[in-house]
């Protein structure tokens, strides 16, 4: 069972008696990137840790799963990250012992920064009970098709509105979308270069020995609320004249019905479908 932890950008998954807390995209050290532009912001790492500890103390999870982008730099690590990230996880282990990270696109060379006890999982994702988790910058493993629900990060979804005076309002949101099981099975099989025999669903059953069940996708807001986000209700024209607001192969696969996806604020308020919000 998946539960969104209102009003936090976090979720809780129960599998048997075990509870796993899930967050995405902490981007530790993001404020350091601002310093190169002449914007001086104090380190936010202790604040992030404090916010996470509040959630852990309330829900008392047995494990913590982070859906990628632990650090902000993509390939290397800044000197501040060499200090902040090890300290962050060392302190975090005082509150939850089982910590795992699904690798994101910002997590290259992350291993030296982590305590040995923290597990680093592949970007193809992992399953907890009947829910599959992945970061979102790469295709998830076809093995996650056995999960009815998929959860990803990477997008940092927000909605942006302007009031009559011209002031801009930006809010983090959850995205809840329906998945086409057959289409998602098809594209994941193609990425594995598996020849489709009969229907994609039949082929998954033949090669992986389970019937695909995925019918729903949640996109998590970033746990670091200091970050900006991708305004999903706005469209940006490309050189070809098309519009693109979504990133990640799954969201561009035509397997996810984003137009009719349900958009929720962190406090649980239902705003409407993405199509409706784009018309405002």
- Report domain extents, the chain: 2-278
DSSP code at position 264: E
Rounded CA-CA distance 150/213 in Å is: 10
φ/ψ (deg, to 5) at 172: -70, 145
Nearby residues of 152 by Cβ (< 8 Å), 6 or more positions away: 24, 67, 133, 134, 135, 136, 140, 217, 218, 219, 220, 248, 250
- pTM, rounded to two decimals: 0.92
**DSSP class of 226:** T
Nearest residue to 18 via CA among 83, 76, 62, 70: 62
Residues 6 or more apart whose Cβ sits within 8 Å of residue 200: 182, 183, 185, 186, 189, 212
> Alpha-carbon distance 246 to 158, whole Å?
12
**Residue 19 near residue 59 (C-beta atoms within 8 A):** yes
Peptide bond into 7 cis (omega under 30): yes
Cβ neighbors of 36 (< 8 A, separation 6 or more) are none
Angle between helices 200-208 and 181-191 (to 10 degrees): 60
Spell out the per-residue pLDDT of the chain, length 280, in tens: 899 999 999 999 999 999 999 999 999 987 776 777 777 776 778 899 999 999 999 999 999 999 999 987 655 555 566 678 999 999 999 999 999 999 999 888 899 899 999 999 999 999 999 999 999 999 999 999 999 999 999 999 999 988 888 888 899 999 999 999 999 999 999 999 999 999 999 999 999 999 999 999 999 999 998 887 899 998 764 444 444 557 899 999 999 999 999 999 999 999 999 999 998 7
* Distance between CA atoms of residues 197 and 214, nearest Å: 20
């Amino acid at each position: 069972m998946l539960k969104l932890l209102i009003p936090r950008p976090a979720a809780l998954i129960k599998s048997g008696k075990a509870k796993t807390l899930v967050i995405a995209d902490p981007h530790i050290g993001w404020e350091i990137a601002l310093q190169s532009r002449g914007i001086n912001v104090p380190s936010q790492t202790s604040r992030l840790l404090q916010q996470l500890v509040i959630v852990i103390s309330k829900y008392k999870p047995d494990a913590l799963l982070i859906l990628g982008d632990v650090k902000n730099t993509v390939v290397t690590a800044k000197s501040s990250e060499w200090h902040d990230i090890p300290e962050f996880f060392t302190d975090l282990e005082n509150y939850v012992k089982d910590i795992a990270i699904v690798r994101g696109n910002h997590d290259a060379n992350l291993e030296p920064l982590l305590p040995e006890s923290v597990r680093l999982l592949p970007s193809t994702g992992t399953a907890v009970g009947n829910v599959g988790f992945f970061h979102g910058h790469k295709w998830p493993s076809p093995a996650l098709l056995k999960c009815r629900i998929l959860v990803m990060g990477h997008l940092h979804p927000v909605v942006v509105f302007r009031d009559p005076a011209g002031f801009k309002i930006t809010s983090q949101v959850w995205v809840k979308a329906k998945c086409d099981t057959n289409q998602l099975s098809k594209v994941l099989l193609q990425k594995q270069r598996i020849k489709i025999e009969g229907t994609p669903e039949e082929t998954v059953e033949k090669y992986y020995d389970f019937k695909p069940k995925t019918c729903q996708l949640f996109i998590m807001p970033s746990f670091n609320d200091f970050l900006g986000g991708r305004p999903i209700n706005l469209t940006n024209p490309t050189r070809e004249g098309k519009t693109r607001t979504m990133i990640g192969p799954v969201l561009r696969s035509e397997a996810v019905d984003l137009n009719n996806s349900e958009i929720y604020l962190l406090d649980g308020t239902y705003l409407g479908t993405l199509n409706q919000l784009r018309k405002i």
